């Protein structure tokens, strides 16, 4: 799969388009995606940090597409955990996903979300249904 083909798969979903996802690189069970900052991400207008739901979605997307790039398709999330490490202030975010274990029925992947200064904002791990579609 080429970078352009994977980009087309990732951005098929309108929500992913709204997040401004751009696949930067992928290979060997890893992916890097950049999410383009949007003012609508702000949860607290006084402090200007990003809503935790956006960070959780980015954790899920980066982990999911680390597996999706290997399988050539999107896959459903079964379970997910997110840890928040610091507020994500206005600016694009770098999302790095990595396969932990790829199985026939279920797989595990993890992701980390960084600000443009390289500071870790959130991380997490998910379980994904990777059984072949019927």
CATH numbers and ranges of domains, the chain = 3-129 (3.10.129.10)
**Max CA-CA distance within the chain?**
49
Q: What is the pTM of this model?
A: 0.95
pLDDT, tens digit only, all 134 positions of the chain:
899 999 999 999 999 999 999 999 999 999 999 999 999 999 999 999 999 999 999 999 999 999 999 999 999 999 999 999 999 999 999 999 999 999 999 999 999 999 999 999 999 999 999 999 88
């Amino acid at each position: 799969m080429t970078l352009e083909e994977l980009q087309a798969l990732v951005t098929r979903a309108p929500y992913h388009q709204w997040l401004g996802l751009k696949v930067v690189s992928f290979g060997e069970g890893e992916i890097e995606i950049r999410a383009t900052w949007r003012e609508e991400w702000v949860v607290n207008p006084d402090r200007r940090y990003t809503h935790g739901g956006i960070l959780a979605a980015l954790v899920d997307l980066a982990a999911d597409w680390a597996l999706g790039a290997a399988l050539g398709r999107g896959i459903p999330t079964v379970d997910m955990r997110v840890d928040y490490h610091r507020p994500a202030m206005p600016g694009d975010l770098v999302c790095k996903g990595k396969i932990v274990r790829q199985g026939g029925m279920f797989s595990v992947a993890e992701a980390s979300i960084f600000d443009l200064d390289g500071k870790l904002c959130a991380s997490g791990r998910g379980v994904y249904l990777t059984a072949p579609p019927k």
